[in-house]
Structure 1
């Protein structure tokens, strides 16, 4: 997340979804987190945007450090706000990034560890976290921008990030 502070600002941070292996950001998978908003409302919204068009994938590993808290009522929230996504439920496996597992109880390890998911044991799920080192540098500039300019700046930055990642993967 891009933490921008919360005093007098329109948003407190940015939340986004990206590929666990390649750290490419999903189209429609980024949203501002407003100051004082509900815990998961914008996370649900950006997930719905990021998952659109992924119906053909046999399995979608959904890595989130709060997967144990977010997943139990996920289906009910999706039915209420995004009924067209309920069909994807059978394709989604909630997991936690491996480094974040240590902050959770043993029961969470058994249910959400990538080590216990078929075909995912070689992935650490931390690709999402590694990208924020570079992206957090935008916070100093974007916190002073109006919402439209901030959105344009972030969009250009993430599109450029994806382009560089794809270019470098081919080498």
Structure 2
């Protein structure tokens, strides 16, 4: 539990995976964070989000810390999520275009979307643009118990996906 002043919180933030092109949130791809981004939390969200994606020939993982997250990724996946091992050949790590300038030059080239087939027109920042709206929930969810907190967030993100799908069909 995170303690801020005399108020205790079960979560210090959240992490989520979404579709690069459409900003639709992946089912099972959200986790609460406890004092910062720990890679185990990110791995858990990834394992939930990638479920059912076996049919995709290429999976681009856009994460601002991809250069730090990916080196030991296979080891962590092998020990915690062995069912994901067959997907390794389909996965390519990238850093969103806005975040790449905070990385070393070699990271900029290795993790750049510009050099990935079929992805040059995508910036990888879709999930970042959505947080302006989602952060409005913070005031009402921060004092909820863990179960109600998750139910409220799930309802919100399901509604977000529904609205996005409706807008795309028009």
Gaps of 5+ in 1: none
Distance in 2, matches of 1:77 and 1:118, equals 27
Paired residues in the alignment total: 166
After superposing on structure 2, the runs of 4+ consecutive aligned residues of structure 1 that deviate more than 6 Å are: none
Question: Secondary structure of the residue that 2:28 maps to in structure 1?
Answer: strand
Q: Give yes or no for the alignment of 1:164 onto 2:163.
A: yes
Unaligned runs of 5+ in 2: none
Structural RMSD (CA): 1.2
- Which residue does the alignment assign to 1:153? 152
1:2-45 Cα shifts (integer Å, max 9, x gaps): xxx85221110011100011000001001111237x72111100
The alignment partner of 1:84 has SS state of helix
1:136: which partner in 2? Answer: 135
Q: Cα distance, 1:110 vs. partner? A: 1.1
Give the TM-score normalised by the residue count of structure 2: 0.95
User: 3-state DSSP class of the match of 1:32?
Assistant: strand
C-alpha distance in 1, partners of 2:22/2:122?
A: 10
TM-score scaled by structure 1? 0.94
Query: How far apart, CA to CA, are the structure 2 residues paired with 1:111 and 1:76?
Result: 20
In the TM superposition, what are the counterparts of 1:21-170 in structure 2 within 5 Å?
Answer: 21-35=21-35, 39-170=38-169
Higher relative contact order (CA 8 A, sep 6+): 1
